[in-house]
């Protein structure tokens, strides 16, 4: 065992079963490092690590660096990587796995998950989404009232055309929906 591998092994001793699993996932094991994913990715230029480098980093045991990177948060789910991968790796889904794991361990870059959390909160309470409440929740969470002000001209244009959703529609079955989501969440923790 080389010194590098030894170091990674020692570092990984504290990994949870879920984290251990991702280091030995199909994606990490079966990738052929051809880089088709990175070449196909419309946002790779802005990523800390390109999709191919993400797999290489995980092979080197650098899970924490991967989870701290901006990469998963720049995935737009365009699915080019997934449909082009010669090894059949569903990279888009893998990006989602990394996002969930990063948030769970609170390692995701600051601000990266706030809009997502605002969406989930709106959807879970009302059963529907609505842009206005989302944006307000998002900018409040970022302590950025200026961001909201900057949206004003855009908001006004949408408003005069009757296209600004002020309040989300609330579904009738929202109590049932909440029970369903609670049930799933509790199962997940068990």
Partner 1 sequence: MAYSYYPGCTQEVSTKAYDRSSRAVAKALGLDLIEIDDWNCCGSSPSYSLRHVETYALNARNLALAERGAPGGDVVTICNGCFGMMDKTNRRLAEDADLRREIDEALAVADLEYRGTLTVRHLLDILVKDVGREAIEQKVTHPLEGLKVAGYIGCAFSRPSGIDDMEFPTALDDLLTWIGADVVDYPLKAACCGGVLMMGDKQDVALKLVHTLLAEAVRRGATCLATACPLCHLNVEAYQGQVNSRFGTDFSLPVLFFSQLLGVSMGLSKKDLGLGEELISAKALLAPFMT
> What stretches of 25-130 show up as alpha helix (H) in DSSP?
26-30, 36-40, 51-59, 63-68, 80-84, 91-104, 114-126
Question: In angstroms, rounded to a whole number, what is the distance separating the alpha carbons of residues 49 and 38?
Answer: 9
- Residues between 20 and 49 that touch partner 1 (CB under 8 A): 42-43, 46
Residues 6+ apart with CB under 8 A from 175: none
Give residue for tokens 């307000």: 136
Per rule CB under 8 A, is residue 185 in the interface with partner 1? yes
Per rule CB under 8 A, is residue 145 in the interface with partner 1? no
Q: 66-105 mask for partner 1 (x: CB under 8 A)? A: -------xx-xxxxx-xx------x-x---x--xx--x--
Question: In angstroms, rounded to a whole number, what is the distance separating the alpha carbons of residues 58 and 170?
Answer: 43
For residue 127, the minimal CB distance to partner 1 (Å) is 4
Per rule CB under 8 A, is residue 53 in the interface with partner 1? no
Instruction: Please give the residue ranges that form the binding site for partner 1 (CB under 8 A).
Output: 42-43, 46, 73-74, 76-80, 82-83, 90, 92, 96, 99-100, 103, 111-117, 119-120, 123, 127-131, 134-135, 138, 142, 153-154, 157-158, 161-165, 168-169, 171-173, 176-177, 179-181, 183-185, 187-188
């Amino acid at each position: 065992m080389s010194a590098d591998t030894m170091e990674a092994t020692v570092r990984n001793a504290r990994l949870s079963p879920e984290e251990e699993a991702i280091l030995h996932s199909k994606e990490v094991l079966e990738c052929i490092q051809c880089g088709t994913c990175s070449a196909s990715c419309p946002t790779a230029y802005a990523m800390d690590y390109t999709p191919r480098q993400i797999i290489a980093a995980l092979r080197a045991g650098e899970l924490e660096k991967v989870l701290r990177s901006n990469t998963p948060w720049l995935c737009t789910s365009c699915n080019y990587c997934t449909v082009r991968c010669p090894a059949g790796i569903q990279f888009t889904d893998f990006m989602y796995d990394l996002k969930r794991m990063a948030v769970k361990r609170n390692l995701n870059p600051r601000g990266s998950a706030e809009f997502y959390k605002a969406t989930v909160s709106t959807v879970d309470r009302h059963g529907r989404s609505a842009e206005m409440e989302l944006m307000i929740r998002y900018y409040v969470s970022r302590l950025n009232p200026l961001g909201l002000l900057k949206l004003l001209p855009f908001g006004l244009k949408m408003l005069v055309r009757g296209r600004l959703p002020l309040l989300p529609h609330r579904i009738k079955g929202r109590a049932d929906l909440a029970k369903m989501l609670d049930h799933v969440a509790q199962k997940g923790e068990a």
